Chains A and B, each alone.
Chain A
Amino acid sequence: MFYREAGDFKTSYRADSQTFPIRLDRMGYVAALVVAYGIVPFVIDDYWANAVFVPFLIYAIAAIGLNILVGYAGQVSLGTGGFMAVGAYAVYKLMTAFPDVPILIHVLLAGGITAAVGVLFGLPSLRIKGFYLAVATLAAQFFLVWLFNKVPWFYNYSASGQITAPERTMFGIFITGAQTTAAAKYLFCLIILTLVALMARNLTRGTVGRKWMAIRDMDIAAEIIGVNPLSAKVTAFAVSSFFIGIAGALLFSVYLGAAEVGEAFGINKSFLILFMVIIGGLGSIFGSFAGAAFLVLLPVFLKNVLVGGFGWPTDVAAHLELMIVGALIVVFLIVEPHGLAQLWRIAKEKLRLWPFPH
């Protein structure tokens, strides 16, 4: 009743192969974009931007990146934190070396540098598979974090070993630094996220995406039907690292402002992003959004309830929060191993038939 694909006729190939072929879907996404661009920037304040919206947007970019690698190409990676660190340090070096270039270009370049590093660490995936690969990507995680800690050139020889984002503007509006408004941060991240999501959506439904999925489903069979595993795996690592690098650059420059590599980009960050991808749904762009939203909102919600609502000491609340997050992840995997995206698919199925049972 409420959701229907029927009656949506196409008269040209062009119309048939558009990004969102179903009219209802298209209307839904347009409505979401109108709200995101037209309403939220005018009502957003510092608390909502810093606690919810900006981290959600940034983690959604990272989750899309990791989902391409894990969900579409089937290569499990635990090195996300390390690759985000590459993005962060690349954007830092670029921002301090070329102060006059707009920050958007720096962020994209940082993504490119991360892509190159990702390809380098992705090469062993041609030989190593499954869990062995997952553990091998930890090599990237630990090595990169160590590198940024130990080589002073990366943090411009600052005494604290931290990197701090200098103030940069675009079209006269502050994007990084202390003077940035909540709306500017939000809009900057939102624009990049929109571009990334569109790009990911179109890549995954095109030739490249099909090659990735063929490799994921069975790499030997894919090779026999003519998919080159080298190019498929390397492009997956490159595209994924590109997005993850952008997310790392934004996390450092726009959101955190200052970062210490072991703390901001440690192994926990890798697991966090992987959780987002799994809880959201492997192999689904929508799932990346849903997973990021869920895991950004959950700690905020729990903290408000436990500390604000019950008035418990923060350390007990922190431990309970850890327990609840862990338990929820397990419950989620038991109830719906295919993630929030699958729940959404089931909901659409129900809406299609409602009020009839079949």
Chain B
Amino acid sequence: MLDQLTYASEAALNGLMAGVMYSLVALGFVLIYKSSGVFNYAQGVMALFAALTLVGIQKGQVPFAHLINAVTGGHLETFGWQVPAVLAILLTIVVMIGMAIVIETLVLKHLVNQAPIILFMATIGLAYFLEGFGDVMWGADIKTLDVGLPQGINETIESVTDTWFGYGFFIDNLDIVAAIVSVALVTALTLFSQYSKQGRALRAVADDHQAALSVGISLRFIWVLVWSIAGFVALVAGIMWGSKSGVQFSLSMIALKALPVLMLGGFTSIPGAIVGGLIIGMGEKLFEFFVGPLIGGATENWFAYVLALFFLVFRPQGLFGERIIERV
């Protein structure tokens, strides 16, 4: 019985860590949804694209090598240099900001005042495009991402828990780093939106587009800003997930993991994204641990959604979402 309990608490702890990773993706969704009402399905693909770009820059790959080779019949592969991790990350941030500007001028600007479903579909189109674009630009093979984050099992925790409970917990070093990074990220974002001038403008836009425009806030600048921040968050998520499981197509599927987190926490709340991620992460690991073996396993694919659905029936706006007020 005691064994069962320690195993369960290890599963719960690992779930919490995984939940933090979900929150990282969910955060990007919340930022964009709050400030522009756009439900950005492309967030997961943005993380994939950011990770691909980072690896590509780091390894000095020639962009579009595959396509150029196909057209000209050449054999381009790499420039033959390696870029240090920090510089590569900075360059990737520049790329993501560039992408935000391009998305704003080519897509969002033209879709002002459209129904939310149209904007949502546009971001799905964007996701398809980015997915193909990333593959054409950097190649579709599985890449390893290494920016010097610690890997493997944390031995300190293992030995400490071993002396306390007589059973060593296996916790990934990377998960711990991810948890620390996301706490820092949330703190930074909260401080930014509460105390900086741009952050205040951002909240004003979130509150009321027209009122914000009338006091002289540039909507277009705010959108570029928000998409840049979302791009940065996507990069962080891409680095964490990429270091964990390699940079490949399935990375874009983490968006689907983030959706139930959003539902649970509420689409408009940054703390909601974190708490939702923790609940989902822990819930699905515990469910898989206790109930999974009885019904065939691999319950992680759907349990998060069903859990979120259950919460929604009692609170239709999620745990921390703004109350939905309907006026007739």
A26: Cβ under 8 A from any B Cβ:
no
Supposing A138-B305, A322-B131 touch, asked if A127 and B313 sit within 8 A by C-beta, the answer is: yes
Which of A135, A138, A146, A324 contacts B298, CB < 8 Å?
Answer: A146
- Among B115, B116, B125, B260, residue most surrounded by chain A Cβ atoms (within 10 Å): B125
A221–B124 touching, CB < 8 Å: no
Q: What residues on A are CB-neighbors of B259 within 8 Å?
A: 135, 138
A327: Cβ under 8 A from any B Cβ:
yes
B129: Cβ under 8 A from any A Cβ:
yes
Q: How far is the CB of B151 from chain A (nearest CB, A)?
A: 30
> Which of A112-120, A186-194, A203-211, A270-278 is the interface stretch?
A270-278
- In the bound complex, how far is the Cα of B262 from the Cα of A312, in angstroms? 41
A323: Cβ under 8 A from any B Cβ:
yes
Q: What residues on A are CB-neighbors of B299 within 8 Å?
A: 146
Q: How far is the CB of B131 from chain A (nearest CB, A)?
A: 6
Supposing A139-B309, A326-B125, A334-B110 touch, asked if A128 and B316 sit within 8 A by C-beta, the answer is: yes
A279-298 toward B: CB 8 Å interface, digit per residue (1/0)?
Answer: 00010000000000000000
Q: How many residues of chain A have a CB within 8 Å of chain B?
A: 50
B140–A124 touching, CB < 8 Å: no
B256: Cβ under 8 A from any A Cβ:
yes
> Which of A27-35, A162-170, A313-321 is the interface stretch?
A313-321
Q: What residues on B are CB-neighbors of A328 within 8 Å?
A: 125
Which of B132, B308, B324 contacts A323, CB < 8 Å?
Answer: B132
Q: What residues on A are CB-neighbors of B126 within 8 Å?
A: 326, 330
B112-132 toward A: CB 8 Å interface, digit per residue (1/0)?
Answer: 001111101110111111111
A329–B128 touching, CB < 8 Å: yes
B294-328 toward A: CB 8 Å interface, digit per residue (1/0)?
Answer: 01111101100110110011001110000010101
Which of B136, B295, B301, B316 contacts A127, CB < 8 Å?
Answer: B316
B318–A138 touching, CB < 8 Å: no
Supposing A124-B313, A142-B305 touch, asked if A221 and B328 sit within 8 A by C-beta, the answer is: yes
Q: How far is the CB of B277 from chain A (nearest CB, A)?
A: 15
Q: What residues on B are CB-neighbors of A274 within 8 Å?
A: 121
B90: Cβ under 8 A from any A Cβ:
no
B312–A128 touching, CB < 8 Å: yes
- In the bound complex, how far is the Cα of B107 from the Cα of A70, in angstroms? 24
A218: Cβ under 8 A from any B Cβ:
yes
- In the bound complex, how far is the Cα of B263 from the Cα of A129, in angstroms? 12
- In the bound complex, how far is the Cα of B128 from the Cα of A220, in angstroms? 36
Supposing A224-B328, A333-B118 touch, asked if A139 and B129 sit within 8 A by C-beta, the answer is: no
Q: How far is the CB of A310 from chain B (nearest CB, A)?
A: 8
B232: Cβ under 8 A from any A Cβ:
no
Residues 30-55 (chain B) with a chain A CB within 8 angstroms = 39
B130–A326 touching, CB < 8 Å: yes
A257: Cβ under 8 A from any B Cβ:
no
Supposing A321-B132, A322-B132, A326-B126 touch, asked if A139 and B116 sit within 8 A by C-beta, the answer is: no
Which of A131, A313, A329 contacts B70, CB < 8 Å?
Answer: A313
- In the bound complex, how far is the Cα of B324 from the Cα of A53, in angstroms? 45
B313–A323 touching, CB < 8 Å: no
Supposing A127-B312, A322-B128, A322-B132 touch, asked if A132 and B328 sit within 8 A by C-beta, the answer is: no
Residues 72-112 (chain B) with a chain A CB within 8 angstroms = 106-107, 110-111
B128-147 toward A: CB 8 Å interface, digit per residue (1/0)?
Answer: 11111101100010000000
Q: How far is the CB of A224 from chain B (nearest CB, A)?
A: 7
- In the bound complex, how far is the Cα of B297 from the Cα of A329, in angstroms? 37
A103-139 toward B: CB 8 Å interface, digit per residue (1/0)?
Answer: 0000000000000000000001001111110111011
Q: What residues on A are CB-neighbors of B308 within 8 Å?
A: 135-136, 139
B262–A135 touching, CB < 8 Å: yes
Q: What residues on B are CB-neighbors of A149 within 8 Å?
A: 298
B301–A142 touching, CB < 8 Å: yes
- In the bound complex, how far is the Cα of B118 from the Cα of A27, in angstroms? 34
Supposing A275-B121, A329-B124, A330-B107 touch, asked if A322 and B305 sit within 8 A by C-beta, the answer is: no
Which of B118, B124, B129, B318 contacts A132, CB < 8 Å?
Answer: B318
B121–A132 touching, CB < 8 Å: no
Q: How far is the CB of B2 from chain A (nearest CB, A)?
A: 31
Q: What residues on B are CB-neighbors of A227 within 8 Å?
A: none
Supposing A131-B267, A321-B132 touch, asked if A151 and B296 sit within 8 A by C-beta, the answer is: yes
Q: How far is the CB of B177 from chain A (nearest CB, A)?
A: 29
B66: Cβ under 8 A from any A Cβ:
yes
B212: Cβ under 8 A from any A Cβ:
no
- In the bound complex, how far is the Cα of B125 from the Cα of A333, in angstroms? 9
A267: Cβ under 8 A from any B Cβ:
yes
B118–A312 touching, CB < 8 Å: no
Q: What residues on B are CB-neighbors of A325 within 8 Å?
A: 125, 128, 132
A177: Cβ under 8 A from any B Cβ:
no
Q: What residues on B are CB-neighbors of A129 within 8 Å?
A: 316, 324
B67: Cβ under 8 A from any A Cβ:
yes
A136–B309 touching, CB < 8 Å: yes
Q: How far is the CB of A282 from chain B (nearest CB, A)?
A: 8
A337: Cβ under 8 A from any B Cβ:
yes
* In the complex, the 7 A-B pairs of residues with the closest C-beta atoms, listed nearest first: A326-B128, A326-B129, A322-B132, A329-B125, A323-B132, A139-B305, A142-B302
With A326-B129, A333-B118 known, 6 other A-B pairs at CB within 8 A are A132-B318, A135-B259, A135-B260, A138-B259, A138-B260, A333-B114
29 contacts between A and B (CB under 8 A): A127-B312, A127-B316, A128-B309, A128-B312, A135-B260, A135-B305, A139-B306, A142-B302, A143-B305, A146-B299, A149-B298, A319-B132, A322-B131, A322-B135, A326-B127, A326-B128, A327-B129, A329-B121, A329-B125, A330-B122, A330-B125, A330-B126, A333-B114, A333-B118, A333-B121, A334-B107, A334-B110, A334-B122, A337-B111
Interface residues of A (CB under 8 A from B): 70, 76, 124, 127-132, 134-136, 138-139, 142-143, 145-146, 149-151, 218, 220-221, 224, 267, 271, 274-275, 278, 282, 312-313, 315-316, 319-330, 333-334, 337
